[in-house]
Amino acid sequence: MTVSAIVVWSVWVAFALFLAVLYIYRSSLTRDEEDQIFLDESFDHEKAHQAAIAARVAKVEPLVRMARWLVVAMTVVVIGYYVRDVMLQLHIMQ
């Protein structure tokens, strides 16, 4: 394995681990989230708690989307690297 392949794979693994950590963090935030509507005023404390959870998840969501796109982009780079390598070995490209 060449140095450039190691670098490409290392960057891909770093992005994938970052995405995995964000998914785990988001799932730990949504663990206490409930899918119900609070109609009575006596449940205002629950309503506030659920709103706080939703606000934290909303803060994490842009990072999740960015990390997902970074992993997709690095996957394309990895595939492109190996396609280029095959083309060089077959003398299709110089």
Q: pTM (2 decimals)?
A: 0.80
pLDDT for the residue 48: 79
- Tens digits of residue pLDDT in 39-73: 666 667 777 777 788 888 889 999 999 999 999 99
**C-alpha to C-alpha distance for 82 and 68, rounded to whole angstroms:** 21
The answer to whether the CB of 53 falls within 8 A of the CB of 32 is yes
Inform me whether the pLDDT recorded for 33 exceeds 70.
no
What are the sequence ranges of the domains in the chain? 3-33+43-89
Provide the b/e sequence for 13-44 (b: ≥16 CB within 10 Å). eebeebbeebeeebeebeeeeeeeeeeeeeee
